[in-house]
Structures are given as C-alpha cells and as structure tokens.
Amino acid sequence: MSNNKNLIPIHVGLLGHIDAGKTAIAKCLTEIASTAGLDKHSQAQKRGITIDMGFTFFSLENYMITLVDAPGHADLIRSVVSCANIIDIGFLVIDALQGFQVQTGEHFLILDLLNLSQLFILINKTDLVDKKRILEVRRDIGKIILGTRFEKSCQIFEVSAIKNIGFSKLKEKLLETIKTLKIQRQNHGTFKFLIDHHFKKKGQGTILTGTVVSGKAKIGENLSILPEKLTGKIRSIQKWKKEHDFIEAGDRCGISLSNISPEQISRGSFATDNESEFTQSQIYDIAVKILPLYNHSIKFGQHININHGMMALNGRIYPYRKELWKNNEIYVPLSPNSNLKVFNAILYNDKVEYVKKGEFLLLSRLDLSPKSLRIMGSSIIVRILKDPIYMFKEKIKKGKVKDAQYRVSSVIVENLASSIEGAHSIINLIAEKPFGKIKSTFGKKGNVEVLIRENFKEKMPITKETTVSLKVFKKFQVDNTKSYSN
C-alpha cells in the first residue's frame, strides 16, 4: 500500500440480507481492518451474523476506500439506517441462491433515498448456481430498479467471496467510477464528527471512532461532545492505522481525547468545535418525502422511528397543511392517507437532541412486520421549535337562509352562530359558494348578513332554507402523549 497520508477518502456501504455474504466480500477486499471490522464484536462471533457496523479499508491508486459493513438481520435495521448516513457509494449484495429478499428491498430503498453517487449490485455465491439462475436474478434486479434513479446507472457484478472470483473487475470498475464522481465535502464551517464506537485505550485515554461529516480539526483543539456537553482536547488522530495531524470532512478516523471517560458517551453522540451552531430541541417542523412503495396510511400523531446521524429515536409525526384564515397562516391536520407522499409535518422526538436546520432524517415503522416495507421515507428539518405546537382543527358549520330577498347582493342567514358574540367572531369569513363574505351581524340572536358572489343569484336560485356552509377552525395544542383520530 502506498503512503496513505494524502489519500482521498471514499465511503462504500455494504448492505444486503442476512447471510448474503457481505462480511465475506469485505474480507476479499480488505487491506486494513479496524477494531470494529470483519465481525470482531464478540456477539457477532457468537451468533455468526453482523450485529453492528464494521469498518475496513483498501486503497485504489490515490483513494482510500472505507467499507461500511451493515447488519442484514431484520431486527437490526436501525444500524443499517444509521450507517447509510455516511456513505458515498452503495454495494448491495444479493445471494444468488435466495435472490432479492425483503430486507434486500429495504436496503435498496434506503440507498435510493440517500442520493448516492452510484450503486453497485453484487450477485454473490455465483459458484453455487448455474448461468440460468444468474440470468433469473439479473431479471429480478432489472424489475426492482425499474423506475428508480438507479435504473440506467446501476452496475451489476457477479462474484464469489468463497472462491475469491470477480473482485479484480469490481475494483477496476469502482476506481473508474470514483474518478468520474464529484463528491462534495463540507470542508469549511463547523466541525461535526459522528461517533460510532468509543472505548478506553491504555496510554491514550478515550478513543472515539467515527466519520467527519463537516469541517476540519487538528491535534490540540478542544471539542465538545453532544448531547452530553463534555469537553476534551484532541491528543492524537489516526486514519487507516497511521498517525495524522488533522482530519477533515469525509475522513474515517479515530480521535484520542483527554478529560473524557468512554462511560460518559452514548451511541449517537457527536463531537463538534462549535456547540453554538446546534439547537437543543425535540420538536421539528419537517419536509417529508414518502417512498412510492410505502402503502400504509400516515396518521396524525402516529408513532414512528427516526434516524438522525447515528442517533436512533422514537417519536410521533403530525402531518399538516397550511391554510390562510383570518389573515393568518395556520396549520391544519391532514387526514390519514396512504397516498400521501410529499407533505409537511411536526415531529416530536422522545428525547432532546442537538440539531441544525437542513439536517437529514430517515423515517421508518419498525413496529411493522419484517416481511413488509418498514422504511417510510426521508425528511429535512425546516425549523427547530421549542414552544408548544398549536394547530387548528377544521369544522364545517351549516346554516340556512332566513331571508333570501334582504338585498340584491346579500341574504340573512341563521344557525351559523348561536349568539351575537358568536356572530361577531365569524364576520369577514368567507362562506362556500354561491355565498361570499359574512358582512355583519343581524339582530341579537346570532343571525348574520352574508354576501352573494357576483352573478350567482342569476345562475343559482337562492330561497329560504337554502343551506349555507362555513369553514371554521378550532385551535388546539398538540399533545405528544396521545393519539388522534381524524
């Protein structure tokens, strides 16, 4: 391997169904294994499956490739979603014997959500099947990627990890692809380091391993750990088993910090050089995109699972639409709808975290059966909120015309309000066609004068007893401890 000081980091996510052979593929490609690579976790060895993210490395010319090996077991989808936040290119592994499976589909959809630069699909265990079976798998892949953004750009490779077949061509095409990519790193601004492992090392203090998603840092600088609000100084930096003086966006590395104990840090924490850039909250206004294949209704106040960086959270989602009422913009709950694909929502997390506007969230329903699609979609934080959220529930009031001949351009309506006070509260609101603005109160019993929209008296006869409909809204505070039914 060449001197790795100046290598350009590229992150490749290795995803796929359990037993598809992801870790075996990683072994075929790996030159350097990290402390969390190749299933070194004791439980992974005991159970014979990947139970946490593994990180290994190999170089291609002036690039250092980080392989992020994600768990494939249905119960470990949280870890898959977490690792997906830090990858540039996807390797989706398919067992040639089993073909496309439910979790394979989930992993594919996660990759599709992330706007990755490229997707490679690896058909593994080709030594165990004939050419006819490989053609069947290829046809199935074609059906799955049809209509997605990977339809024309996806590259398919036939490999055998056990026989070590097909990896020279894979590396050759990977290098060729990387050279064409224009991966943008956020090297400027606030330093943010997503922590995936933390432990004590004799003589070096607390070691944090993870990925730099933005900014730069160097030895001697102070970092804050959030949400724990800890502060420590960088004692040393290591990338790819070599000591370095600084790190920047895109680097997979380990940091030794002083004055911090690993027991103080939790999974999902991150390090930063500018704590003030992040706001402490558990309520966000988000812009949501739901996957086309997700066909469950999305209910107001529904429990969902949220992945933000390495943080796995639970929460409730409150879809809404905006409406102009009494010259103010209000939020109105959306009715449950399985066809709801793009909308705004209020999101309540079960715990407070540190966030920034514009950050990316993955949404899922892990309470659903592993045999169904559990990945809902993605969202972007539009606003960070701290105060209680108020929305307005829509209600249609029904009145009737009491005097159809009051004026040429208006009628008298009863039953839209039960008192003079109620009548005053609806003045200037707009009734449904053919009626228009509520002009004034009439008498002392809650009757009102309602204008008729232009030319409607000629088009539609209005008589006594004609129904008048008025849309009004009742303000309520969203209670994140209860479910709602629309």
167 in the same domain as 45: yes
Residue 450 β-bridge partners: 411, 438
CA angle 241, 243, 249 (to 5 degrees): 85
Residue 422 has pLDDT above 80, yes or no: yes
Helix axes 167-180, 22-29, angle to 10 degrees: 80
Q: What is the pLDDT of residues 243-269, one digit of tens each?
A: 999 999 888 889 999 988 989 998 778
Does 153 reside within a domain?
Answer: yes
Q: Domain of 407: which CATH number?
A: 2.40.10.190
Of 277, 296, 321, the residue that ends a domain is: 277
Sign of CA dihedral 458, 459, 465, 469: negative
Mean pLDDT across the stretch 85-103? 86
132 in the same domain as 80: yes
Does 478 reside within a domain?
Answer: no
79 in the same domain as 207: no
312 in the same domain as 196: no
Q: Where are the beta strands (DSSP E) in 326-434?
A: 328-333, 342-355, 360-364, 375-385, 390-407, 410-414
Q: Report the C-alpha gap between 17 and 96 in whole angstroms.
A: 12
Mean pLDDT across the stretch 70-98? 69
pLDDT band at 85 (very low <50, low <70, confident <90, very high): low
**Average pLDDT over the chain, rounded to an integer:** 86
DSSP assigned state of 277 = G
Tokens representing 361 are 């969230």
Q: Which of helix, strand or coil describes residue 29?
A: helix
Q: Report the C-alpha gap between 183 and 29 in whole angstroms.
A: 22
- 320 φ/ψ angles, rounded to the nearest 5 degrees: -145, 165
State what percent of residues in the chain have pLDDT above 90: 51
Q: Domain of 257: which CATH number?
A: 2.40.30.10
Q: Mean pLDDT highest for which of 102-116, 257-271, 319-333?
A: 319-333
202 in the same domain as 109: no
Helix axes 102-113, 131-145, angle to 10 degrees: 50
Residue 25, judged by CB atoms within 10 A of its CB (0-12, 13-18, 19+), counts as: buried
Residue 86 has pLDDT above 70, yes or no: no
291 in the same domain as 218: no
- Residue 38, pLDDT score: 42
66 in the same domain as 54: yes
Does 484 reside within a domain?
Answer: no
Which H helix or E strand runs over 420?
helix 420-425
SS (H, E, C) 277-336: HCEEEEEEEEEEEECCCCCCCECCCEEEEEEECCEEEEEEEEEEEEEEECCEEEEEECCC
Tokens representing 13 are 């996510």
260 in the same domain as 369: no
Mean pLDDT across the stretch 29-50? 50
Residue 218 has pLDDT above 50, yes or no: yes
Of 277, 311, 338, the residue that ends a domain is: 277
Residue recorded with tokens 């039914």: 485
Of 156, 180, 204, the residue that ends a domain is: 180
Q: How far apart are the first and last CA of the chain?
A: 62
Does 482 reside within a domain?
Answer: no
Contact between 25 and 91 (Cβ < 8 Å): yes
288 in the same domain as 267: no
Q: Which of helix, strand or coil describes residue 64?
A: strand
- 73 φ/ψ angles, rounded to the nearest 5 degrees: -70, 140
Does 98 reside within a domain?
Answer: yes
Q: Domain of 14: which CATH number?
A: 3.40.50.300
159 in the same domain as 21: yes
Q: 11, 68, 83, 17: which is closest to 38 by C-alpha?
A: 68
Work out how many domains the chain is built from and give that number.
4
- Residue 5, pLDDT score: 61
176 in the same domain as 56: yes
Does 483 reside within a domain?
Answer: no
310 in the same domain as 333: yes
Does 486 reside within a domain?
Answer: no
Bigger pLDDT: 370 vs 399: 399
Q: Report the C-alpha gap between 124 and 306 in whole angstroms.
A: 31
Does 311 reside within a domain?
Answer: yes
Cα separations in angstroms, 103 against 70, 235, 345? 12, 41, 27
Q: What is the pLDDT of residues 219-248, one digit of tens each?
A: 999 999 999 999 999 999 998 788 999 999
Give the residue numbers spanning the domain of 413. Answer: 394-473
